[in-house]
Structure 1
Amino acid sequence: MTDARTWHVAVLMGGWANERPVSLMSGEGVAKALESRGHRVTRIDMDRDVAARIAEAAPDVVFNALHGVPGEDGTVQGMLDLMGVPYTHSGLATSVIAIDKELTKLLLVPKGVPMPGGRIVASESLYDGDPLPRPYVLKPVNEGSSVGVAIVTDESNYGNPIRRDAAGPWQEFRQLLAEPFIRGRELTSAVIDGPDGPRALAVTELKPKSGFYDFDAKYTDGMTDHICPAQLPEEIEQACLQLAVRCHTALGCKGTSRTDFRWDDEQGVDGLFVLETNTQPGMTPLSLVPEQAAHVGMDYPTLVEAIVAEALRVHAKEGADG
């Protein structure tokens, strides 16, 4: 590095996961923000030669703007660990656990984190009968951004039992996680790390204008209203903030994370459930982490710089400790 505030950052984005378009938007936003602050940026669209391309670029740090597999599941993290290159966001072990919804529950529930019940089911079994009383939710075990989520109700047009020709995640994934549907409100809270430890930024309520908060609702402008800060009772707001930090810490997240909730507002704090923690939150103009950072007075370039600075700080500390 030329000085303490100027870095050469390789922004890793794209890839071949379902979330490639979102990753490209995140990566380009990050790259432009860093360039606006005078940093040197190398944009790298993930392909099978990515290790050689990173080695050739020889950056000070990699900003991991990938979403989904293999950028979010520990694969890229392990590669960068072997290369000895600092990178943003969570490490290998955390990434492996957090992208797997079943492993996440096995780790968080014993630590007192309220999460919906449910079980892993074979997609083939859905054509014989429901795994849970309706309404229930089906989701892939290892996908993010609400990819492949279906809500099965008595009124849904999937059939009863689900028909083989009904479009849904059962046609794309061999196994699915079945969870009881929690009525109520969709909430989320971002956490960022710093020298003083993790802090939750705010709570946002997500109100899709139609349907539910699926992939399209997340990333199509105008399809979802973001209420930030969410209009909530004080005890619910504080519970969300505290749970977000607890999940971030228990999973071993680094840099930033975002924890998603469902809240049954007829049940008070007993109706609040963690759905998942995302270790690679989006950084697009519609994304929630930048929105919450702005709410607490941190503009987009400052947020990006803070994430990079934290990655370098952690890498230096681990090197000193090791």
Structure 2
Amino acid sequence: MHGTQALAPVPEAPGPGPGAPARPTSLLSARPVRLALCLAPVLLAGIWAVSNRPLLYEGVRRLATADPRWLLAGAGLTCLTWVAASCVRQGALPDRLPPGLLLASQFAAGAANHALPGGLGAHAVTLRFLRARGVPLDRATASIGLYSLVRSVAKTLVLLVFLAASPAWRRLGGLVPDGRLLVPVAAVAGGLLASVGVLLTVVRPLRRPVTGLARAALTDARLVHSRPCRVFALWGGAVAMPLLHAGALACVGASLGLGLPWEQVALAYLAAGTAVGALPAPGGLAVDAALVWTLVTFGSTPTVATATVIGHRLLTDWLPLLPGALVLSALIRAKVL
């Protein structure tokens, strides 16, 4: 009968017991992966500090007896280098980027450079930052290429100006490669260029993305150079970066009694960085060795020159390493990178 018809049982919601549905494996595994990415920069910074205890001790000991006013000026110039790098990054891209997050990413990129040689760490951090801001991969990669090209051209122009203004360049013959090495180096470079050309000509799947990347790079380069604000940020920041680094080195040298005029210190920094800066050595060890040799060639004592280079490396790279690693971890955790 209708009045006595049994009601259909209502299914109960599964509780947290064995009947509950399992959480997706991707969600369970995402947390450990993200935690590992956040802790990796801090761990790398700690390992590097432990493995370089003698250098850290010597740099700290020398800086403890240095003039704090010059060191403070060097620290201020070092902070300005991150601002200049942010200007170049923004100038290389038509899209507007958030200034605060861009500056934080460039500060964190310095810590990443100690794990990868040749500036690859900073480029990787910047690429993740641009991708998180919605910039397509080809345009983000093109902006990094434009950034690197403009920095190299600007640094070369600044070096040429110092070479023309200072007669001390005649003492730098030791930094010029031996003529016997130029032939095999040129042969290797020519072989690499020919191989790349053959690959791009024969392999169509490889030619297509490279052609698209080159097209995006040319389009964005024309666009940024049509805007005066982008041109000023791009080239002004690129010219300022080597001058700020050289100024920080000169301040450290003045605090330790290096005894060289600032233009010779700047020339030494530019010449040493240009001569061996392309070597794939994390942390700039080859540049430091060449810089010590150049300062001694200009008339400094080996002890003070070594202390100046160690102090400069401590001020510009080692002291910001742990804060940069923490900022990098925080940006990863906040999904900015």
Normalization by structure 2: what TM-score? Answer: 0.28
Task: Tell which structure's C-alpha radius of gyration is larger.
Answer: 2
Q: Which has the higher helix share?
A: 2
Q: Which has the higher relative contact order, 1 or 2, with Cα contacts under 8 A spaced 6 or more apart?
A: 2
Q: Which has the higher strand share?
A: 1
